[in-house]
């Protein structure tokens, strides 16, 4: 009841302001969304709401809610896919472990850009990193009957917790904001020493906060993985996209930092969606460490015909999920990886535009009274990249999200990402091209004019 009164008062207020979008339209669709609080809506629910407001108002939003690539996909991938289709692959089932040319290039890719050795046999295609995560949960979280599930180092990608939920796996999480650097060790141990953690998952660079773990932090994670025998699932959905360093030259340092330098107990998830602007084709890679792939876990036999980790991943999890990945996308990704490995296609410089956009957008926000929420990696300012987080004095994130809709700006709340910074929102820069920066500036100025004290 109180909550309803609160939102009624806010509506009255907003009705008196000359906002960009007709407030009646915004309010109508907020009420029609069926969400108790739109600020708590999932990414896809906010997308649907904004589509409806745009349709009725005829005004385009500055859309920052969804992490969809804003760049053209590389031709190399598309041409290789067309070739594969012309060769008749559409009628043939793909082998679950993947086509050999992709496995070879994936193994080369992790050598060239992470400086690690993984046999081609242990590099598997997945239907996006999304499927990579659920397949990994299916095996890692069932490898030891005395353990329970996943520890998420948050903030994180909400749907991965949804995956644990639908599998019936338990999970725990903590917001890493206050536990950077050396403090990470004690915090992680607090969970791991209970002996119940099968796997630990984080993304690096991080969605939503764009923090990047330092080598010191990755070393801590790796050491504790060894000490407590937990499997680290390192989600590299934004591979190479910390633009403060140039990770783009194959075989040359600096390399994308990875926990694989500090433990053999790892699964890496690589996505083609952002680094290769290939989200629509739904292909990623699961890179299982050579040691983990051949390791035997007798408790896996409860679910699978084999006690082998890698074998269960292929013939248990991936088979059950989608029986492999379409041939043509595998050939497309193989061609892109080959071009990157051979130094003929610089996938990092292609997406570095996101960093340039973020730099401008963050300045527009901070010039207009907003604050960056996750602003540091230990003592260093955070990188400019695909996402950033922001807040505005006097607003909770959930209320700020709703209020900004009236000004034609959409985002998602950090609340749904496991962050404890509930004043914050996540902005994705991918759909805000340079031409739209002036529009964003005007809208933020108007918002600030109406809300500053």
**Closer CB to ligand PLP, residue 135 or residue 339?**
135
Residue 23: CB minimum distance to ligand PLP, A? 32
Site residues for ligand PLP, 219-248, by CB under 6 A, read 235, 237
Residue 234: CB minimum distance to ligand PLP, A? 11
Residue 129: CB minimum distance to ligand PLP, A? 4
Q: Binding to ligand PLP by residue 258, rule CB under 6 A? A: no
* CA atoms of 127 and 318, how far apart (whole Å): 9
**Closer CB to ligand PLP, residue 126 or residue 391?**
126
Q: Can you tell me which of 23, 199, 203, 419 binds ligand PLP, judged by CB under 6 A?
A: 203
- Pattern 261-290, ligand PLP, x by CB under 6 A: ----------x-x-----x----x------
Tell me the residue number closest to ligand PLP, measured at CB.
Answer: 128
Residue 442: CB minimum distance to ligand PLP, A? 29
Q: Binding to ligand PLP by residue 106, rule CB under 6 A? A: no
Characterize the bridge pairing of strands 197-203 and 231-236.
Answer: parallel
- Pattern 128-167, ligand PLP, x by CB under 6 A: xxx--------------------------x----------
- Pattern 363-402, ligand PLP, x by CB under 6 A: ----------------------------------------
**How many residues of this chain interact with ligand PLP, rule: CB under 6 A?**
13
Residue 139: CB minimum distance to ligand PLP, A? 18
What is the 3-state secondary structure of the chain?
CHHHHHHHHHHHHHHHCCCCCCHHHHHHHHHHCCCCCHHHCCHHHHHHHHHHHHHHHCCCCEECCCCCCCCCCCHHHHHHHHHHHHCCHHHCCCCCCCCHHHHHHHHHHHHHHHCCCCCHHHEEEECHHHHHHHHHHHHHCCCCCCCCEEEEEECCCHHHHHHHHHHCCEEEEEEHHHCCCCHHHHHHHHHHCCCCEEEEEEECCCCCCCCCCCHHHHHHHHHHHHHHCCEEEEEECCCCCCCCCCCCCCCCCCCCCCHHHCCCCEEEEEECCCCCCCHHHCCEEEEECHHHHHCECHHHHHCCCCCEHHHHHHHHHHHHHHCCCCHHHHHHHHHHHHHHHCCCCCHHHHHCHHHHHHHHHHHHHHHCCCEECCCEECCEECCCCCEEEEECCCCCHHHHHHHHHCCCEECEEHHHHCCCCCCCEEEECCCCCHHHHHHHHHHHHHHHHHHCC
Q: Can you tell me which of 14, 25, 46, 67 binds ligand PLP, judged by CB under 6 A?
A: 67
**Closer CB to ligand PLP, residue 131 or residue 143?**
131
Q: Binding to ligand PLP by residue 200, rule CB under 6 A? A: no
* CA atoms of 430 and 428, how far apart (whole Å): 6
Residue 15: CB minimum distance to ligand PLP, A? 36
Residue 261: CB minimum distance to ligand PLP, A? 20
**Closer CB to ligand PLP, residue 325 or residue 348?**
325
**Closer CB to ligand PLP, residue 159 or residue 249?**
159
Stretch of 4-12, 122-130, 363-371, 431-439 contacting ligand PLP, by CB under 6 A = 122-130
Residue 27: CB minimum distance to ligand PLP, A? 30
The residues of the shown chain that bind ligand PLP, judged by CB under 6 A, are 67, 128-130, 157, 203, 207, 235, 237, 271, 273, 279, 284
């Amino acid at each position: 009841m109180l909550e309803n009164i609160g939102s009624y008062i806010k509506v009255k207020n907003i009705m008196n302001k000359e906002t960009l979008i007709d407030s009646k339209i915004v309010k109508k669709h907020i009420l029609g969304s069926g969400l108790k609080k739109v600020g708590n809506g999932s990414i896809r629910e906010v997308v649907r709401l904004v589509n409806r407001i745009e349709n009725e108002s005829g005004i385009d939003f500055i859309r920052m809610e969804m992490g969809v690539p804003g760049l053209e996909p590389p031709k190399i991938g598309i041409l290789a896919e067309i070739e594969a289709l012309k060769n008749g692959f559409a009628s043939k089932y793909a082998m679950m472990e993947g086509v050999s040319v992709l496995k070879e290039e994936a193994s080369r890719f992790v050598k060239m850009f992470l400086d690690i050795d993984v046999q081609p046999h242990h590099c598997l295609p997945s239907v996006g990193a999304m499927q990579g995560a659920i397949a990994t949960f299916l095996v890692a979280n069932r490898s030891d009957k005395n353990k329970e599930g996943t520890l998420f180092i948050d903030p994180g990608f909400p749907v991965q917790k949804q995956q644990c939920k639908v599998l019936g796996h338990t999970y725990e999480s903590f917001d890493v904001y206050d536990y950077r650097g050396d403090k990470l060790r004690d915090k992680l141990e607090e969970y791991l020493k209970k002996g119940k953690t099968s796997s630990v998952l984080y993304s690096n660079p991080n969605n939503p906060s764009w923090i990047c773990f330092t080598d010191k932090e990755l070393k801590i994670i790796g050491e504790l993985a060894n000490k407590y025998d937990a499997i680290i699932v390192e989600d590299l959905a934004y591979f190479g996209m910390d633009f403060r360093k140039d990770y783009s030259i194959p075989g040359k340092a600096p390399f994308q930092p990875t926990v694989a330098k500090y433990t053999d107990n790892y699964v890496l998830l690589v996505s083609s969606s952002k680094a290769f602007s290939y989200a629509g084709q739904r292909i990623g890679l699961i890179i299982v460490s050579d040691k983990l792939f051949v390791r035997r876990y007798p408790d896996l036999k409860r679910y699978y015909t084999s006690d082998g980790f890698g074998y269960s991943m292929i013939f248990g999890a991936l088979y059950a999920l989608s029986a492999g990945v379409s041939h043509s996308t595998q050939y497309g990704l193989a061609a892109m990886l080959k071009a990157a490995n051979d130094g003929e296609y610089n996938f990092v410089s292609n997406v570095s535009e996101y960093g340039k956009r973020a730099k401008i957008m963050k300045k527009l926000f901070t010039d207009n009274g907003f604050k960056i929420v996750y602003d540091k990696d230990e003592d260093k300012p955070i990188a400019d990249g695909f996402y950033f987080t922001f807040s505005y004095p006097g607003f909770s994130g959930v209320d700020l999200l709703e209020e900004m809709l009236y000004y034609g700006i959409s985002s998602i709340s950090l609340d749904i990402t496991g962050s404890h910074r509930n004043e914050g929102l996540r902005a994705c820069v991918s759909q805000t091209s340079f031409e739209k920066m002036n529009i964003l500036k005007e809208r933020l100025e108007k918002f600030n004019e109406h809300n500053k004290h």
